[in-house]
A and B are shown apart, each in its own frame.
Chain A
Amino acid sequence: AQTVTQSQPEMSVQEAETVTLSCTYDTSESNYYLFWYKQPPSRQMILVIRQEAYKQQNATENRFSVNFQKAAKSFSLKISDSQLGDTAMYFCALEGSNYQLIWGAGTKLIIKP
């Protein structure tokens, strides 16, 4: 079975700090995609970043980057220079063998001024 686990229900950091959100997954597929989605209080689910499993280079999008450890099945999200607008629920997701997304339970991130 394919699973996604986010072990941190909630985190809070001061503005401008760097924060890392954890995600581990399990799959028997050799090629797959991993995603981080952000859901702010407005509820709109927004794609933050995605990683192709066959690419060794970690994906980056401005202040957002991932640490993808394929052997360890780990896919953490690092947010640098955190901003108040980064306050949101963050969901890790794995594209499963039937091309459907398998979701983690989410991490609530609070950026404090």
Chain B
Amino acid sequence: ETGVTQTPRHLVMGMTNKKSLKCEQHLGHNAMYWYKQSAKKPLELMFVYNFKEQTENNSVPSRFSPECPNSSHLFLHLHTLQPEDSALYLCASSQDTGGLTDTQYFGPGTRLTVL
């Protein structure tokens, strides 16, 4: 699967570090998403971008800062994270967000560990 790629695949960081997660989609989609996946919990939607504009921010702490410079790229900037932020972060894309037929395609995720 190369439609949606994420880098890095694994990341270990201290609570005072600043790092960024990158997502790139090669599907020509207009919408991109960040999800947090913690063990034994449903996926949590964090942010939604449609045509580079943020359309959803599901009460995510400000230590997570998204950036969408164009429809193909999505970043998640991390700073002063907490150990409970350790999780798998998944990126997804879909053709649009405006209809019932927009299937989301996922990247392989970044496994983040905060020490």
For B99, the closest partner residue in chain A by CB is: A99
Name the distance in Å between B47's Cβ and chain A's nearest Cβ.
11
> In the bound complex, do residue A47 and residue B103 qualify as a contact, i.e. CB atoms below 8 Å apart?
yes
Q: B24-44: which residues lie under 8 A (CB-CB) from chain A?
A: 40-43
A106: chain B residues at CB < 8 Å are 40, 42
Binds B, one of A13-21, A37-45, A58-66, A75-83: A37-45
| CA A67 to CA B92, docked complex, whole Å | 27
- Would you call A43 and B109 a contact (CB within 8 A)? yes
Contact assessment for A104 and B106 in the assembled complex, using a CB-CB cutoff below 8 Å: no
Whether the Cβ atoms of A100 and B106 lie closer than 8 Å is no
Residues 95-113 of A, flagged 1 when their CB comes within 8 A of B and 0 if not, give 1001111111110000000
Which of under 10, 10 to 19, 20 to 34, or 35 or more describes the interface residues of B?
20 to 34
Decide if B102 touches A99 in the complex (CB within 8 Å): yes
- CB within 8 Å: A-B pair count: 54
Contact A101 B40 (CB under 8 A): no
Q: Which residue of A lies closest to B58 (CB)?
A: A100
Give chain A's interface residue range (CB within 8 Å of chain B).
20 to 34
Assess whether A44 is in contact with B1, with CB atoms less than 8 Å apart.
yes
Could you tell me if B100 and A99 are in contact, using CB atoms closer than 8 angstroms?
Answer: yes
Q: Tell me whether B43 and A33 are in contact (CB under 8 A).
A: no
Asked whether B1 lies within 8 Å of A101 as measured between CB atoms, the reply is: no
Tell me whether A47 and B105 are in contact in the complex, defined as CB-CB below 8 angstroms, given that A4-B42, A99-B97, A104-B42 are known contacts. yes
> Taking the complex as formed, is A7 at the interface, i.e. its CB lies under 8 A from any CB of chain B?
no
Q: Are B92 and A100 closer than 8 Å at their CB atoms?
A: no
B78 within 8 A of partner (CB): no
Which of chain A's residues have a CB closer than 8 A to the CB of B102? 99
8 residue pairs of the A-B complex, CB under 8 angstroms, read A32-B100, A35-B103, A43-B109, A46-B1, A101-B104, A103-B42, A104-B42, A106-B40
B positions within 8 Å CB-CB of A: 1, 40-43, 45, 48, 56, 88, 90, 92, 97-109, 111
Binding site for B on A (CB under 8 A): 4, 9, 31-33, 35, 37, 42-47, 50, 52, 91, 95, 98-106
